[in-house]
Amino acid sequence: MPPSTLTPARASGTRAATAATAGTGAVRTGSPRWLVPAKVLVFAAGLYPIARLVLFGLTDRLGANPIEFITRSTGLWTLVILCITLAVTPLRRVTGVPALLRFRRMIGLFAFFYATLHFTTYLWFDKWFDVLAILKDVGKRPFITIGFAAFALLIPLAATSPRAMVRRLGRHWATLHRAIYVIALFGVLHFWWMRAGKHDLALPKLYAAIVAVLLGWRLLEWGWRRIRA
């Protein structure tokens, strides 16, 4: 994804590699000593939501409706991790630490992983692959339609995250991975409409504000670059 998603640094020209950012051109130099242990910690943190679900399942703490608990938990964590993915580029710009970009692909793939669990739980354990029931849900509940659309957009981003695909797609890769912005908006809308029926919009408003800030920062940066140019 462009300034914010599923891909690490790409190689360019000679042996010096440049980070795969959308228009940043950050140079990938030597790896700082803290990078490997930090990646281990980030990977462990990415496993926390699934470890929590497993623990709750083993200790009978998934509530009266375990399927609903798992579906909502994986959906919320998908949105959380998408926000973290979007925050990598602004954080890198603010801190001036280019190595932060090397976490982006891992974090983005965790977002796809939990989105897949979210989708699979609904499709398999909730609907048991009943196509008619799913189509009825899609027509009756728009938040499911927008959720399907967000997941469908995530699939090509995950599939093109390896370095080999970055090189193969060239400039088209950055264009494709800008879909992360649409995915984030769809994710917030999915969450908002799902909670609207219960008049419980506190969390949707929070994540809408976070996504608005992260996307607004990019619009302001783009505008500032155009003015300077």
When mean pLDDT is compared across 8-22, 64-78, 131-145, the lowest value belongs to: 8-22
Stretch 26-46: mean pLDDT, rounded?
Answer: 82
Task: Place 5 in a pLDDT band, splitting at 50, 70 and 90.
Answer: low
> Residue 20: which pLDDT band, with cuts at 50, 70 and 90?
very low
11 exposure class (CB count in 10 Å sphere: 0-12, 13-18, 19+): middle
Check pLDDT > 70 for residue 114. Answer: yes
Query: CA 161: distance to chain centroid?
Result: 12
Per-residue pLDDT, 32: 85
Q: Find the mean pLDDT for residues 45-61.
A: 96
Structure-token pair, residue 193: 């409409």
Residues near 156 by beta carbon (within 8 Å), at least 6 away in sequence? 176, 179
What token pair was written down for 49?
């939501």
Note the pLDDT of residue 171.
Answer: 85
